Chains A and B, each alone.
Chain A
Amino acid sequence: MGDNGVDGVADNLDLYRQMYLIREFELACGENYSKGLIRGFLHLYIGQEATGVGAISALQDDDYVVSHYRDHGHALARGLDVNRSMAELFGRATGTSKGKGGSMHLFDAAKGFMGGHAIVAGQLPLAAGLALAQQYNDTDALTICFFGDGSTNQGLYHETMNLAAIWKLPILFFLENNMYGMGSSIERVRAGGIDFYPGMATYGIPAAEVDGMDVLAVKEATELAVARIRNGEGPQFIEAKTFRFVGHSLADGQKYRGQEEVKEWEDRDPVAMFPAKLIEMGLATADQIAEIKAEVGEAVATAVKFAEDSPEPDLSEIHDDVLA
């Protein structure tokens, strides 16, 4: 991963395929939530695709990925099985957590995808600990930890930044600043404005800002940070400015923001803009894009069918996996 090849065509198309897969997967989730086939809380990644895809495309197979409760995008970008991911949302026995985790708790340890964590900021020290193990074992692997702007007002944010910095952990803190913690705009709940990256100077952690709607920019920024970490330079921080086009969860009526603001960001939709740019630059043909759309559409339809056809967990499994 991370090798853009001679002309980058294959990689560019793959980035698009991943973003489109996430978009279609999320739309299918919303649809099946409305049908009552997916329950609980459902937080969609629609609008933020370029962030997760760009960042994760810059990683190695032995790196760890840690995410928050809006985790579908990161899971799919990390290559989690589409069928089993959808089955988990349906709560089925074939799901990634055998139906015991749900939307907010996707895991695939074999792929280094260490969750899906639903207590805001709770995943930060876990990620630091994974990075500690990588440092302890003297590998060149690293951990990327995704978190949102909302988590920065938790004490753990400060605690973990400090710990990672004093121990020089191989960790990339990746802030997805989508401007809202549920219904609270960061301007209302944060002293110091909407930019977080300058604050990293406090910890001596190098920090960069990137356009989270531009998948190539995100990828490039991540590659740079990753190279520094593998070079032994300790934790790095990236703030991607991004936006969710939909509500916090499916229960959100979005009374706290205007449609103009949403529209402004939607005009920069990476899932629409990126393929258009590729075609314009002669890096892809309309046929190639259409082909990817057809493939992905089929994959998502297959995943929904797989989930629907999968058995519910047996009630005898209630006591399984509490203890080793």
Chain B
Amino acid sequence: MPEIVLREALKRGLEEALETDPRVFIMGEDIGEYGGAYAVTDGFLKKFGEKRIKDTPISEQAFLGAGIGAAAAGLRPIVEFMSMSFTLVAFDQIVNMAANLRYMSGGQISVPMVIRAPTGAGVQLGATHSQSFETWLAEVPGIKVVCPSTPYDALGLMRSAIKDDNPVLVAEPALLYGVKGEVPDEYYEIEIGKSDVTREGSDITLVSYGYGMRPVNDAADTLESRGVSVEVIDLRSLSPIDMDAIVASVQKTNRVVVVDNARRRGGVMAEVTADLQQSASEWLDGPVMRVGSVDVPWPYNRGLEREVLTDTDDVLAAVAEGYGL
């Protein structure tokens, strides 16, 4: 199978949508002339023209809101934020408009829009540019949230997101844009709301998504080398969360550690933890162990930032503390 990087996978998903569906257009800050802050849309302006590739002013509320209006009128806008941190500026529009409109209108208004944003810390951008608000938006009814960790998932989820009749936030782990992976030439989609068991095992379940999959996979390798059989689940979707798959895995392994690259407090893994406590405690040999990044504003300094972020040692420590493995 051919290997491509995650950025290319996203690009392929966007490009084929632009080629096949005239209702699809992309807008965002510096996505055209500049080529996109992370170069996902590089070359698009030349290929598709100004009507389909719209550079916007630095007005996150206005262009996100305009995307909602365009979607309500039947187009399928893809709106890019330069950083997940900047979605905060447009939260009112995302929550009160994109997510609420269908319900408030008694089902009359659809908002088939994709919101793309690079997410996560790790390159010393400091507190304002390193945040993971996908975990906040995953709490909001009326919007779906996905987060790929591989090029294969990035393309499959992007295809599904663009076809979805709901607003879908695609959280793109910024540190993974350059990661390589196999992507088939044959067409496929990945269903939103379904997780992926990326490694089968019988002793313990590790659950994560996005950039959190990196420490989880490393920890799984270490545990396997010690003779522990690890099952790994990549959530792929943060809303809806595929609890059935997690519970099924826990019924098999009786041990679970949930891992978030975002801040530990609140968030997706708090939700998973609470659900497991309620629906799977009889299957568990120990507490649901939760790992997340430290609950402080993200520091700039390299050493401090590394210490704050979830890493392999944090995962292994939780496995040892909870289950003595």
A110 nearest in chain B by CB position? B108
Stretch of B5-13, B94-102, B202-210, B253-261 that contacts chain A: B94-102
A115:B66 contact, CB within 8 angstroms:
no
B64 at the A/B interface (Cβ < 8 Å)? yes
Interface residues of A in 107-146 (CB under 8 A from B): 107-110, 114-117, 119, 122, 124-134, 136-137, 143
- Min Cβ gap A99→B in Å is 8
A130:B70 contact, CB within 8 angstroms:
yes
Size of the B side of the interface (Cβ < 8 Å), in residues, is: 43
A324:B165 contact, CB within 8 angstroms:
yes
B102:A129 contact, CB within 8 angstroms:
no
List 16 additional A-B contacts (Cβ < 8 Å) besides A128-B69, A163-B63: A99-B106, A110-B108, A115-B104, A126-B68, A130-B72, A133-B70, A159-B59, A162-B59, A163-B62, A321-B106, A322-B141, A323-B102, A324-B102, A324-B110, A324-B165, A324-B166
The answer to whether residues A105 and B104 also contact, given A122-B92, A132-B66 and a CB cut-off of 8 A, is yes
Interface string of A144-170 (1 = CB under 8 A from B): 000000000001100110110011000
23 contacts between A and B (CB under 8 A): A97-B104, A100-B103, A105-B105, A114-B72, A119-B92, A125-B61, A125-B62, A125-B69, A125-B93, A126-B68, A126-B69, A129-B67, A130-B72, A133-B69, A133-B73, A136-B51, A156-B62, A159-B61, A162-B57, A163-B66, A321-B102, A323-B144, A324-B166
Q: Which of A99, A163, A320 has the largest number of chain B CB atoms within 10 A? A: A163
A322:B62 contact, CB within 8 angstroms:
no
- Min Cβ gap A292→B in Å is 30
A98 at the A/B interface (Cβ < 8 Å)? yes
The count of A-to-B residue pairs whose CB atoms sit within 8 angstroms is: 139
The answer to whether residues A322 and B66 also contact, given A122-B97, A129-B72, A166-B57 and a CB cut-off of 8 A, is no
Contacts of A85 in B (CB 8 A): none
- Min Cβ gap B99→A in Å is 9
Bound complex: CA of A116 vs CA of B108, how far in Å?
A: 13
Interface residues of A in 164-215 (CB under 8 A from B): 166-167
A322:B103 contact, CB within 8 angstroms:
yes
Contacts of A119 in B (CB 8 A): 92, 96
Contacts of B81 in A (CB 8 A): none
Contacts of B112 in A (CB 8 A): 324
Q: Which 5 A-B residue pairings sit nearest by Cβ, starting from the closest?
A: A129-B69, A125-B65, A133-B73, A159-B62, A97-B106
A322:B142 contact, CB within 8 angstroms:
yes
Contacts of A162 in B (CB 8 A): 57, 59, 62
Bound complex: CA of A251 vs CA of B68, how far in Å?
A: 32
A64:B73 contact, CB within 8 angstroms:
yes
Contacts of B93 in A (CB 8 A): 122, 125
B71 nearest in chain A by CB position? A129
Contacts of A156 in B (CB 8 A): 61-62, 65
A247 at the A/B interface (Cβ < 8 Å)? no
Cross-interface CB contact of A125 among B66, B73, B75, B106, cutoff 8 Å: B66
Bound complex: CA of A68 vs CA of B309, how far in Å?
A: 44
B102:A322 contact, CB within 8 angstroms:
yes
- Min Cβ gap B66→A in Å is 4
Cross-interface CB contact of A96 among B57, B65, B106, B110, cutoff 8 Å: B106
B109 at the A/B interface (Cβ < 8 Å)? yes
B57:A133 contact, CB within 8 angstroms:
no
Bound complex: CA of A137 vs CA of B51, how far in Å?
A: 10
A136:B70 contact, CB within 8 angstroms:
yes
Interface residues of A in 216-246 (CB under 8 A from B): none
- Min Cβ gap A52→B in Å is 20
Contacts of B103 in A (CB 8 A): 100, 321-322
B59:A101 contact, CB within 8 angstroms:
no
Contacts of B68 in A (CB 8 A): 125-126, 129
Interface residues of B in 266-315 (CB under 8 A from A): none
Bound complex: CA of A240 vs CA of B107, how far in Å?
A: 33
Contacts of A73 in B (CB 8 A): none
B25 at the A/B interface (Cβ < 8 Å)? yes
A317 nearest in chain B by CB position? B106
Interface string of B46-88 (1 = CB under 8 A from A): 0000010010110101111111111111110100000000000
Contacts of A143 in B (CB 8 A): 69
A130:B61 contact, CB within 8 angstroms:
no
B106:A95 contact, CB within 8 angstroms:
yes
Contacts of A133 in B (CB 8 A): 69-70, 73-75
A101:B106 contact, CB within 8 angstroms:
yes
Bound complex: CA of A133 vs CA of B24, how far in Å?
A: 11
Bound complex: CA of A105 vs CA of B57, how far in Å?
A: 29
Bound complex: CA of A49 vs CA of B74, how far in Å?
A: 31
The answer to whether residues A98 and B75 also contact, given A133-B70, A159-B61 and a CB cut-off of 8 A, is no
The answer to whether residues A127 and B69 also contact, given A321-B102, A324-B165 and a CB cut-off of 8 A, is yes
A97:B70 contact, CB within 8 angstroms:
no
- Min Cβ gap B278→A in Å is 19
Contacts of A116 in B (CB 8 A): 104
A109:B108 contact, CB within 8 angstroms:
yes
Bound complex: CA of A105 vs CA of B105, how far in Å?
A: 7
A122:B106 contact, CB within 8 angstroms:
no
Contacts of B69 in A (CB 8 A): 114, 125-133, 143
Interface string of A240-261 (1 = CB under 8 A from B): 0000000000000000000000
Bound complex: CA of A155 vs CA of B75, how far in Å?
A: 26
Bound complex: CA of A321 vs CA of B105, how far in Å?
A: 9
- Min Cβ gap A217→B in Å is 29
B167 nearest in chain A by CB position? A323
Contacts of A137 in B (CB 8 A): 75
Bound complex: CA of A45 vs CA of B53, how far in Å?
A: 41
